[in-house]
Structure 1
Amino acid sequence: MNQIVFILCFMTLIICSLTCLFSCGILICIIHHLYYNRLQQEDRIIIIHCINIYSLVSAYIGLLAVINIQSVLGNLYGYDFNSSWCIFSEYLISILISSLYWAFVNQTLFRLGRVVYPTIRWLQSYRLYIILPLIELISSCILMSLVVFLHNVVYSPENYYCFVPFTRVFSELWLALHSYGSQIGVLLFIYIRITIFLRRQTNTPTLVVKQRQDRDLLIIRRILIIVALLISLGIPGIVFLVKSFITNTDDLLTFPFVFFFISISMIGVCISTIIFTPQLKMIVVKIIQHNRVTPLNDGLFGSIATRQ
């Protein structure tokens, strides 16, 4: 059993490390593009959303890598990582995943303002989407502190990291509600509101307005696909939660499996965000084309110089 745990943690560590490097690289490219280019208001807001998402993914997956390093070292050398940092890391993970889901809510909120409430200017304000993530982060810190206050974060000497046991039903339900339950509810509400609005329009909009509305609805559907990806890869955790609730025991393989599927889901978030965001996709394509063209030019000039 310990060998299986070690293999899962080691694989998760590799995936987390690669994903963290990838997301940090994308984040640097986005910030560089935002700083050195004059963008329209809509493009600037979309880029801000991408910065928020990749910042949270980098922090979350980096912390997950640290936790799995502890598990690998614990399995190899028997180190004890029971400390205040261990408890804080579990607290911080809950905050980061909650803020990540809120980042997708912010994207749909921007689309809601464009489609349903175009006259409410503050819903399309650049500053709103800078301040809003900070407010959500602070609120997540306050809400998640209840679990720490109840002393429901415990250290597992078998896994060598801290977690909230599935047998602590209240804390698990609290985390589930405020980590992604509330956010998914808001996402679905916004999507339904926009869909109903478009179907109830009596006046036929102009072609340009109709195309913009269809594009906004398509983007919201893509956001829901990304969120569905995150939820679907959390199904193994739900299975273990039900099993632990029935047997009133925590399986040793629970969190290694959960962390492994979470690491895969973060890869999906990073890649799908690029694919589903035209502005971000354009930045990445430019970087790839630049890297392909530059060596070709160098080789061409070198061959000309040789012939001379």
Structure 2
Amino acid sequence: MSQTNSATHPTGKEQKQRKALYQLLGKLPDRNRPIAVKVISREETDEIIIEKLLLDLNGLELVPAYFTKPKTATDKIPVVLFNHSHFGQYQVGKNEFVKGRKEMQSPPYAVALARAGYAGLCIDSWGFGERSGRPEIDIFKEMLWKGQAMWGMMVYDHLRALDYLHTRPDIDTKRIATMGMSMGSTMAWWLAALDERIKVTVDLNCLTDFQTLLAEKGLDRHGIYYYVPDLLNHFTTSDINALIVPRPHFGLAGSQDPLTPLKGLEIIDANLKKAYAAKGAPEAWQLKIYNVGHLETPEMRQDIMAFLKKWL
């Protein structure tokens, strides 16, 4: 595991920014409410252990999850909090993690991570997987009426999933990464910005500059869940991602992906290069653009696993 040269102790300004960002997420449940967990099933293969869990994270709706780890693991091991994607496929949810999907490479990340010596956790977000009984738009509208932002409620659940990982005796809590594709990519950089317990961040195909998306009239490219009231009056995409500095962060994007306009990627890259250099950790930020659309290629998978191996 590599380390950055710069200390990661937050400044008062950074702490205030994190608090302000969190407050934009609407009326959220108590951040410190007790978490309960029920193990629904436990499956073993030749190389992986898969636990299906039911987590009480928010006090409103139980959250199904998969926790995985290498079958050979004995000591505390590093873990990746994996955030599933959207693709308008509401039934998939956390199954993406253990079963994969056509837009991503094989094997599924649960297996790939286990083979590399990592544990993994993936929850069903609001409206997905076993929580997909109601349409996304209905959830969004009801939450809006209640002063909640759907994205805020999603982020809250994932932060509580991070809290849950800290209760497990088999996890090395000093070696936690987060990653995801598409909606899961956005979740990864939001989580890392808000919580310094995440040491490594990988975002695949959704590092979108908000202002560029507006300028290109591309608001319909992202789902309704994505939009947070009042956000642009306080933060740019670069501002949020700067809260991850100097922790290692790898962004991957497709040059033909309409969800991440190239002009916006250039803006974010320039800003984060300056921010990481200022903290003495220029090597900890990497943006790589591939000649593809909104999908994961074999090269992307190889680069992601190499980044995790280097930094986690």
TM-score > 0.5 by shorter chain = no
Normalising by structure 2, report the TM-score: 0.28
Specify which structure has the bigger relative contact order, considering alpha-carbon pairs within 8 angstroms and separated by 6 or more residues: 1
Normalising by structure 1, report the TM-score: 0.28
Structure number having the greater strand percentage: 2
Structure number having the greater helix percentage: 1
